[in-house]
């Protein structure tokens, strides 16, 4: 028999997300970034038939993947933040380290390596602060 205080608890419970390496509880340090599929092969990997996957991608440019997202967590044992790929299946979370390919499928994220269309010179100068940025221009004294 449950105690009365346990039965009447209305507060939300913590998500049961544990470190795949150490087994300790992970603390979230970012928002959720949902995933989408834009190729039939990505849908086939998730158990959707070939014909259905081709049909979905043909009708919709990007198909949202229900119950899958990227999120950053802090591990007390590792003492560092890592990005994980999470899958929620019937109140159970499957946690795995996020691969670089998954970043291509995430919605609303900034590419971790930076914008590939921006040159090295522009990227370096965007990070510089102050007047030392002009040292690369040899003709300015």
Number of domains the chain is built from = 1
- Per-residue pLDDT of 15-64, as tens digits, reads 889 988 888 899 999 999 999 998 899 899 989 999 999 999 899 888 89
Domain assignment present for 70:
yes
* SS3 state at 43: helix
* SS3 state at 117: coil
Domain assignment present for 91:
yes
Low-confidence winner among 43-52, 92-101, 106-115 (lowest mean pLDDT) = 106-115
**Residue 43 lies in domain:** 26-127
- Per-residue pLDDT of 126-138, as tens digits, reads 777 665 656 666 5
Cα dist. 117→25, 95, 104, 108 in Å? 39, 32, 15, 18
Domain assignment present for 14:
no
Q: Is residue 84 within 8 Å of residue 75, measured between CB atoms?
A: no
Q: What local confidence, expressed as pLDDT, does residue 70 receive?
A: 93
């Amino acid at each position: 028999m449950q105690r009365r205080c346990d039965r009447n608890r209305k507060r939300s419970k913590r998500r049961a997300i544990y470190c795949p390496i150490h087994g300790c509880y992970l603390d979230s340090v970012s928002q959720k970034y949902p995933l989408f599929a834009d190729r039939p092969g990505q849908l086939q990997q998730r158990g959707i038939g070939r014909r259905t996957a081709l049909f979905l991608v043909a009708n919709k440019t990007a198909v949202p993947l229900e119950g899958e997202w990227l999120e950053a967590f802090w591990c007390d044992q590792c003492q560092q933040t890592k990005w994980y790929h999470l899958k929620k299946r019937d109140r159970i979370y499957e946690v795995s380290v996020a691969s670089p390919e998954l970043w291509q499928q995430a919605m609303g994220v900034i590419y971790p390596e930076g914008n590939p269309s921006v040159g090295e010179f522009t990227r370096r100068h965007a990070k510089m602060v102050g007047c030392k940025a002009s040292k690369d221009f040899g003709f300015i004294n």
